[in-house]
Amino acid sequence: MLFIFLSHDVDWSFNGPGIDHILARKDRFEEDTLRKLDRKNPYNNIQDYITIEEDLGLRSTFFFRTNYENGRFIEYEDDIRALLSGGWEVGLHCDPSSVDNFDNMHQEKKELESITKKTVKANRSHHLAFSERLPSILNELGFVYDSSVMKSVRKIDNKSRGYFLLGKIIEFPITIMDAYLFTYMHITEDQMINTFRYVLESARKYNNTFNIVTIIWHANVLKMKGGRKYKDILEYLSGQKDVRLIKGIELARIINVRSRHEVEASTHSH
């Protein structure tokens, strides 16, 4: 079985970066999107993601920051509650200053949990910041997994599949990030499905019984050229019989069950 960990980083505040910022990047958007800027922020697509995934019977993980430069994360309260009530997962997109600071991480977790009303078990650091202390900080605060490691920004690296353990924390390295596909890797829209086909074929060759591909599709890219292919990508992936698309915490549970079974099998064999 090949598992696809579907995830979204919510990098921008609820109202987005502002019209001037968007117009400076207008070549990324359709004319119709630009005409609606006074009514619809094209960087805020959470409800659109919910619709796309729900239509396909899928659920993913959304990572929210608690420190936005031009807005407060409390503005996402309705979206966060809609995600949780619908079966999606909400994780922390911690600030880079928190990866080496227990108190900062603790404060961020408490702030997010003030909205989720349930324990937050997932982290991905903003800008993929990392430190040697991060796994122990996450473990002490009750996190189950992290997904802040990416081996290469210029190619889809075979080492950025599967998972590994950092102490008790499960680490899901990032296989595909939308932004890097469109920039460093120069993947065009008409190459998108073939790119994902290549990723699946490579993963199957490496391990076709249990392998993981972790995908980041940012919350702000759905209306952008390239990012708008998300629905087509999901339809392609959903059509693969040996592929299961899944949120992170569910995948972590599967790994923990597998680990227990392996320990039990090893014990019985002795």
Domains of the chain, by residue range, sit at 2-269
Per-residue pLDDT reduced to its tens digit, 62-98: 999 999 998 899 999 999 999 999 999 999 999 999 9
* pLDDT reported for residue 247: 98
Q: At 206, is the pLDDT very low, low, confident or very high (cuts 50, 70, 90)?
A: confident
Question: What is the Cα–Cα distance from 234 to 6, expressed in whole angstroms?
Answer: 10
**Which two three-digit tokens encode residue 180?**
């890097």
Radius of gyration of the chain (CA): 19
Q: To which CATH superfamily is domain 2-269 assigned?
A: Glycoside hydrolase/deacetylase (3.20.20.370)
CA distance 126 to 116: 19
Residues 6+ apart with CB under 8 A from 82: 46, 47, 50
pLDDT at 265: 54
pTM (two decimals) = 0.95
d(C-alpha 62, C-alpha 45), whole Å: 12
Question: For the chain, what is the mean pLDDT?
Answer: 93
pLDDT on residue 242:
96
Give the rounded percent of residues in the chain with a pLDDT score beyond 70: 96
Report d(CA 9, CA 152) in Å as an integer: 18
